[in-house]
Structure 1
Amino acid sequence: MRKPNGYGSIKKLSGKRRRPFVFVVTKNGKQRPVEYFETQIEAEIYQADYNKIHKQHSLPGHKVTFSEAFFRWLPAHVADKEPAPTTISNYRNAYQHCLPIHDTPITDLKFADYQQILDIMKKNRLSYASMKKVRSLISLISKFAIEYELVNKNYASLLKIGKNKPVRSHKPFTRQQINRLWQCDVSGTDAVLILLYTGMRVGELLALEKRNINLRQRFIKITRSKTASGIRIIPIHNRILPLIESLTQTPGDYLLSDPSGKPYNYSRFCTLWYNLMSAIRTKHTTHDCRHTVATLLDNAGANENAKRRILGHASGDVTDRVYTHKNLRQLRKAIQLLK
């Protein structure tokens, strides 16, 4: 659709830039930049809002596309829920899988359009987890669209993704593998040992800020997690205390940062992970660390309620969930069962 005069324009700048798209307006005969963006759709949303606010002017007959709904929903969702960086990355990855419907008005999308996305993923042998994330994103955007009266139906509950068939079951680290980690000097070893002695999720570790580590009382406060039960306190095991103390002295606000102080994202952490697994001659997924902690605590006879508190698992028992409270001393007693 051709934009009216005075509506401003969007340009893509040359070269490699993090935000190559710029929205410009004409003032006194000269084009002046207003804001820069990573994608064109984000620039177009800003352009529409800018004209609506400053000039009380909207494009006639405009229909909100799936892409526009996504880029309007995401900032609001992040501000409201404060999801972990890995969760935001999952949203963006799921959005990319929806490429065939990016430019389709969300009012025109029906069950068959959404199901086709999942069918293509299944045909390409993408994982059950990936399809589940796409279905979840479709549900979240549909709820957003319903709230703003763009659509009146959420098709997510009708979408079929088949049954989950795990490629491999999780397996705990052996005592020999853990001992090899203690003797290893490959970059990232300290991070893996922290996972093996806390039971944290990788996303929780990557989002962990130094201000949420209490060295005097020796505990970690998890403030960002994928579940409500994940918001918790984890005692610091004696063996990893020196590792955490050392990491708190490095540049940056986050516990895991590179020498410049930049925090690690999941992709960069995976590079460290695979290099380290090769160094100790084994194959494990990052989630195997949580599986290891759960298994070792079970084998050591740890209190079940304390174990759930440490791992951030929800309790299905009303008594445990409502009336049983484990203080830091009791949790520390449980975590020290790890050898």
Structure 2
Amino acid sequence: MRKMKLPQGVGQVYKLKGTRRNPYIVRKTIGFEEVNGKKKQIIKTIGYAKTYQDGFNMLMSYNSDLVKNPNETKVVVTPECKYKFKDIFDKWSKDFFPTTSKSTMNGYNAAFKGFVGIHNKLFATLKTRDYERIIADSGKNYSTIRKMKFLLNMLYKFALKNEYVDKNYAELVDISKYSNKNPNKRDREKFSKEDINKIWAMPESDSKTITLMLLYTGTRVSELLDLKKKDVNLKERYFNVVESKTAAGIRVVPICKKIYPYFESWMNRNDNELLFENKNHDPLLYRFFRDNYYEEINELLGTNHLIHDTRHTFISMCTEKSMNETVLKKIVGHANAQSLTERVYTHFDASFLVEAVDVLD
């Protein structure tokens, strides 16, 4: 179909720059607002199309729907609903973030970035189809998509409470079709004995020592990086995990003799409250450890291990040494794998756990 100049008020279909799956954008002016004393158009993006013909048909279909529902063309922008999507997020997060954990904040900030295409759109003009279109084009896995919908629900709950909108368009967003979508999923792969020997042979570094400490304790990386010196007992060779994502995660973790020198070194390195610090002498955060320390080990090995592979490897090494299954569950904090009897009645002295892990080589 030959491109044509459409009559005023019908809308626009034009091609975007760059290589895109759907290069044609379909837009229409749906109202006006006053900004600094000047009238400004409120432009709604209806969608994206593969060809001009598809975009034209989309626009005509949209206009046809407006004939049936003429009130949708009349957007009255009150001072309260002049806020853009990013403004609503900023207002909501200012209230919510001080009441939640840092990891939760990071999750919602990441979800917010997923909506970058509508950050500057007026919140009151966005509809369910706008959000579904963003999600469909995001390429994110289901876990991230679900967090994006959680964020939308939180924003609408906030906006309804403050009367910025009168309807929750997030509740109708359907993400069920993405439930099996996880393009970033990788199977767990334990470190080979050859890889572990290569790590031991590496020159001494923080990357090496912390990776080995993960491999020989079986702790989750957050449990180790959040470890406080007061919770480490060098004399008895164990440490206490006092914060974990599960109740069974609150436990005693033995320090095998093979990595004891590393715990001793970190305990005596500084006077900080936490056991670990980064190169700038600040607390060692997960992202910094992953991007700077752990990736260095992967590069030297020529591997692509996930951090959780260290925990998987510890369990495998203990199993190979015929460690008692109940003892192993206690050490790694596996709640779901324990029977009721194991959870309630089985208690082990720290020295017994230390003796159990000393078989690792």
Question: TM class by shorter-chain length?
Answer: 0.5 to 0.7
**Matches of 1:316 and 1:148, distance apart in 2:** 43
Secondary structure in 1 aligned to 2:311? helix
Q: Does 1:280 align with 2:273?
A: no
Alignment match, 2:191: 173
Q: 3-state DSSP class of the match of 1:310?
A: helix
Q: Does 1:71 align with 2:91?
A: no
Residue 182 of structure 1 pairs with residue 200 of structure 2: yes
Please give the per-residue CA displacement for 1:27-75, whole angstroms capped at 9, x wherever unaligned. Answer: xxxxxxxxxxxxxxxxxxxxxxxxxxxxxxxxx8478823322332221
Q: Percent identity?
A: 26
Alpha-carbon deviation of 1:162?
3.1
1:310 and 1:157 map into 2 onto residues whose CA distance is: 42
Shift in Å at residue 169 of structure 1?
A: 1.5
User: Which piece of structure 1 moves more, 183-192 or 101-110?
Assistant: 101-110
In the aligned structure 2, how far is the partner of 1:195 from the partner of 1:238?
14
Matching of residue 290 in structure 1 with residue 307 in structure 2: no
Do residues 131 (structure 1) and 145 (structure 2) align? Answer: yes
Map of 1:52 onto structure 2: none
Alignment of 1:49-64 (within 5 A): 61=80
The whole-number CA distance in structure 2 between the counterparts of 1:111 and 1:171 is: 40
Alpha-carbon distance change, 166 to 323 in structure 1, aligned in 2, over 3 angstroms: same
Asked whether the 8 Å contact 1:315–1:321 carries over to 2, the reply is no
Q: Distance in 2 between matches of 1:192 and 1:301?
A: 23
CA distance change for structure 1 residues 135 and 199 in 2, over 3 Å: closer, same or farther?
farther
Contact 1:250/1:261 (8 A) holds in 2: no
1:255 matched to 2:272? The reply is: no
- Alpha carbons of 1:202 and 1:68: their partners in 2 closer, same or farther (altered >3 Å)? same
Partner in structure 2 of residue 332 of structure 1: 354
The alignment's C-alpha RMSD in Å is 3.7
Q: Structure 1's 246 and 100: CA in aligned 2 closer, same or farther, altered over 3 A?
A: same
Look up the SS of the partner of 1:323 in the other structure. Answer: helix
2:55 equivalent in structure 1 = none
Q: Is the 8 A contact 1:66 1:104 kept in 2?
A: no
Number of aligned pairs? 274
CA distance in structure 2 between the aligned counterparts of 1:169 and 1:224, rounded to whole angstroms: 27
Q: How does 1:301-312 map to 2 (within 5 A)?
A: 301-312=322-333
Matches of residues 202-221 of structure 1 in structure 2 within 5 Å? 202-221=221-240
Question: Which amino acid in the other structure matches residue 74 of structure 1?
Answer: F
Contact 1:256–1:264 (Cα < 8 Å) also in 2: yes
How do 1:95-134 residues align onto structure 2 when only pairs under 5 Å count? 95-100=112-117, 111-122=128-139, 126-134=140-148
TM-score (norm 2): 0.62
Residue in 2 that maps onto 1:155: 171
Which of the two has higher C-alpha Rg?
2
Cα distance in 2 between the residues matched to 1:198 and 1:143: 44
The 3-state SS of whatever aligns with 1:65 is helix
Counterparts of 2:147 and 2:358, CA distance in 1:
36
Relative to structure 1, is the Cα distance of residues 332 and 253 closer, same or farther in structure 2, using a 3 angstrom cutoff?
Answer: same
2-structure distance, mates of 1:109, 1:302: 58
Counterpart residue number, 2:58: none
Once the two structures are superposed, what CA deviation does each residue of 1:216-273 show, in whole Å capped at 9, x if it has no partner?
3322222333444433321111111110110112233322213542122233212222
- For residues 286-320 of structure 1, what are the alpha-carbon distances to aligned partners after superposition, in whole Å with 9 as ceiling and x for unaligned? 11101101222222233333323322332255514
Matches of 1:157 and 1:248 in 2, distance apart? 51
Q: Is 1:242 paired with 2:256?
A: no
Aligned ranges 1:184-203 → 2 under 5 Å: 184-185=202-203, 187=205, 188-203=207-222
Name the CA distance, whole Å, in 1 between partners of 2:218 and 2:252.
11
Deviation at 1:165, TM superposition (A): 5.3
Q: Using a 3 Å threshold, how does the CA distance of structure 1 residues 210 and 61 change in structure 2: closer, same or farther?
A: same
Q: Deviations over 1:175-222 (max 9, x none)?
A: 121122112125310000000011122222222222222223322222
